[in-house]
Amino acid sequence: MADLVLIDDHPLMRKGLGRTIENEVDLHVVGQMSSAEEALEEIEDLAPDLAIVDISLPGMSGMELIKHLQSRVPDVKILVVSRHDETLYAERCIRAGAKGYLMKQEAGDIIIKAIRKVLNDRIFVSEEINERLLQSMAEGGRERIMQSPLEVLSDRELEVFELTGKGSSTREIAERLHLSVKTVESYRARIKDKLNFDSGNELMKHAVQWVESENSP
C-alpha cells in the first residue's frame, strides 16, 4: 500500500483526485493540505510515499515547496499536477526535484499511470516534454528553440512576473517571497531586460495578459 498526500488549494480538485486515487486498492490518501506551509508542518509526521503538488498555492509557491520537500523529506517522491503550461513549468519542476508533471485536465487513468510510474522512481512527463528533455541532454546545454519567451526567466524571476500580473505591488511581492523591496526591484529590472520591455508599465501589461491567459479555461 502506497500512502499519498494531496497539496492543492482547490477543495473540489482535492476531492476529485482523492476519489480517483482511493478507487485503487493499493493507493491511499493519508492527508490533504491547502498550502505549502501546512504541508511542511504535517509531511514528516504523515511520512507519505508520494506528494501530489500544485504549482499555484497561497503563500509559498509549489515550486518553492518542491525544493523544501527535497531538503526536508528527500525520500518522498513528488508529482506535480497543475493547470499551468507544461512547456514552461515541467522542466523547472523536474530540475527542482519532482519526478513527474502533468496537466489537471488529464483523465483519471493517466493520473493513476503517472502516480505508479513516479512511485517506481521513474520520470513521468508528456511525450512532448520528454522529447524536449532528451533533446536538451543530447545538445549538452546548447541553445534550443524556446516555446515561450518566458523560458529565459529564472524560477524566481518567473514568480515575480506572475505576482506582478496578479496585481501585487513591489512591497507585497517582497513580503510574499521574504525578500527586500530592493531585491524585488532588481528582479523586475532583469525581467525587463530579458524580455526587452521599455518600462515597468509594459512589464505589468504583459504580466497581466499572461496571468489572464493562464487562468482562462
Instruction: Write the pLDDT tens digit of every residue in 153-200.
Output: 998 999 999 999 989 999 999 988 889 999 999 999 999 999 999 999
For the chain, strand residue ranges (E) read 2-7, 27-33, 50-53, 77-82, 100-103
In tens, the pLDDT along 69-128 reads 999 999 999 999 998 878 788 888 998 999 999 988 888 889 999 999 999 999 998 877
Q: Per the domain annotation, does 209 fall within a domain?
A: yes
27 with 109, same domain: the answer is yes
Same domain assignment for residues 123 and 161: no
Choosing from 76, 109, 137, the residue where a domain stops is 137
Same domain, 115 and 20: yes
Quick one: residue 12, left, alpha or beta (phi over 0 = left, psi -120 to 50 = alpha)? alpha
Q: Do 109 and 182 belong to one domain?
A: no
Domain count, the chain: 2
Mean pLDDT, range 198-216, rounded to an integer:
87
Looking at the structure, do residues 13 and 117 belong to the same domain, yes or no? yes
Which domain does 31 fall in, by range?
A: 2-137
Mean pLDDT in the chain?
Answer: 88
In a domain, 144, yes or no: no
Q: 87 and 49 share a domain?
A: yes
